Amino acid sequence: MAKLLTLVVSLLCTAPIPGLAQEPATFAYQGVDRRYVLHQPSGQSGPRPVVIGLHGLNEPVEAFRHSWTMDAVADSDGLDVVYPAALSGRWAYADTRPVPLPGDNGLVDDVGFINALLDKLIADHVADPSRIYVAGASNGGLMAWTLACRMPERLAAIAPMISGMIERQAQQCHPARLAPLLVLAGTDDLFQSYDGAMAPEFRLMSVPETLEFWRRLRDCTGLKLRRLPAHDPSDPTAAVLVEWTECKDPSPQRFFRIEGGGHSLPSFAPLAERERAPHGGRSQTVETAEELWSFFKPLSLPAERPR
């Protein structure tokens, strides 16, 4: 019962963290102004790699920006980071969790919104269309799973974090392409249980079950596990890197299993007191943004074949 209540009440959040305020840009989609924040390295122009960062439930964009170091990675490596904002604070990632448009004018189409956002970034000469990546955490991780199913042909790689799949998502998932995947989850996540959970409207699959779903699609028969060295000897958590091998589909699938980690993104940053216990606690085993970019950087969409 406790697992059900935390799943339903929180669905599915990362803890708000005070962040830097920035005036967002907007564009109209479905008759509604949709907001996003664009972080660009200073003094650079022209199409660049873009990471789309999807926030958690009711998490302000500024708080999500502050919860990882992707902006710093962007400044050092010359990429852009885009932070779209969900309507009503949550992503419309599945038909089991619809989000109404303002004024009872139908339902939010967030897959269409992300598609339209990519079109705008490309038309504005911000994004290299072959090097657009998505990373989402918690509720944003659920949206990232949906994008892996619904629009992988537009994304060079996808990283759903601290989030398994909803069973309904898996049942409706027939991807036109298997995008490279980086998955990260903590085994002691108290909000979005690593072991899965039941809610009135749906079943949350466990993280191992979610990974097995994608392993079957890739038809992989091999597995490599490597325990990563500890960054801080006093950190009670540990990171295990899992990679699938001998796959019929060559796109990589990588998993960071954070043993003892909770419902937050690992970082080397010193722990605030409130990060030690809520949601299972934050791990200091890996720097999430750096691992994401290390995975994303060499990947691009395959070139279209001549007709």
Determine contact, residues 223/278, Cβ cutoff 8 Å: no
Number of residues that this document lists for the chain: 307
Q: How far is CA 140 from CA 56, 218, 298, in A?
A: 5, 24, 24
Give residue 275's pLDDT.
55
Using only C-alpha atoms, what is the Rg of the chain?
18
Q: How far is CA 19 from CA 60, 66, 96, 269, in A?
A: 9, 5, 31, 15
| Per-residue pLDDT in tens (0 to 9) along the chain, 307 residues | 444 434 443 443 443 333 333 458 999 999 999 999 999 988 777 899 999 999 999 999 999 998 899 999 999 999 999 999 999 999 999 887 789 998 877 999 999 999 999 999 999 999 999 999 999 999 999 999 999 999 999 999 999 999 999 999 999 999 999 999 999 999 999 899 999 999 888 999 999 999 999 999 999 999 999 999 988 888 889 999 999 999 999 999 999 999 999 999 999 887 665 555 556 678 888 999 999 999 999 999 987 644 4
Q: What does the block give as tokens for 100?
A: 């109404």
Q: Nearest 5°: CA angle at 97, between 160 and 154?
A: 40
Measure the CA–CA gap between 1 and 204, rounded to whole angstroms. 14
Ordered structural domains, the chain, with CATH = 2-296 (3.40.50.1820)
Give residue 292's pLDDT.
98
- Please state whether the predicted TM-score (pTM) of the whole model is above 0.85: yes
Taking the CA atoms of residue 10, residue 15, residue 21 and residue 22 in that order, the dihedral angle to the nearest 10 degrees is -60
Measure the CA–CA gap between 268 and 259, rounded to whole angstroms. 16
Helix, strand, coil shares of the chain, percent, nearest 5, are 30, 25, 45
Give residue 183's pLDDT.
99
Q: How far is CA 132 from CA 10, 21, 38, 138, 165, in A?
A: 29, 25, 14, 20, 22
Measure the CA–CA gap between 254 and 161, rounded to whole angstroms. 12
Give residue 200's pLDDT.
85
